[in-house]
Amino acid sequence: MKLFGKKKETKACCCGGNGTSQTMRNAENKKREKGIKILGSGCAKCMELERATRTALSELQLNYEVEHITDFAEIASYGVMATPAFVLDGEVISYGKVLTVEEVKVLLTKK
């Protein structure tokens, strides 16, 4: 009876195998898309950030597409560890706090 033997080596990915690489490719492609993305689970804070963003866009008369991303794998692909997050044209601008309408306006006019 062997108590201390060599561990079996496995080559499978800890994330689930082949389907994961396709998911990550899709997430990377989506990051390159233009527009505004709100990253978050859909909680009250995420919804508040989305409302503030839409209000700021309306007041500035800007035509950006706003997408709310709730998929945690996709959120992680942005490197975001705290939500809600505000992404503009693929770049994470803010995370971990709810921006006010005025703060969103400032960010949108800087771009």
Q: Which of 13, 14, 15, 46 is catalytic?
A: 46
How many angstroms separate the CA atoms of 58 and 64, rounded? 10
Q: Is 46 a catalytic residue?
A: yes
Dihedral over Cα of 42, 48, 53, 59: its sign: positive
Q: Which of 13, 14, 15, 43 is catalytic?
A: 43
Q: How many CA atoms lie within 13 A of 16 on its CB side?
A: 7
Structure tokens of 16?
């689930």
Q: How many CA atoms lie within 13 A of 60 on its CB side?
A: 20
Q: Is 15 a catalytic residue?
A: no
* Locus of tokens 């035509």: 63
Active site amino acids: 43, 46
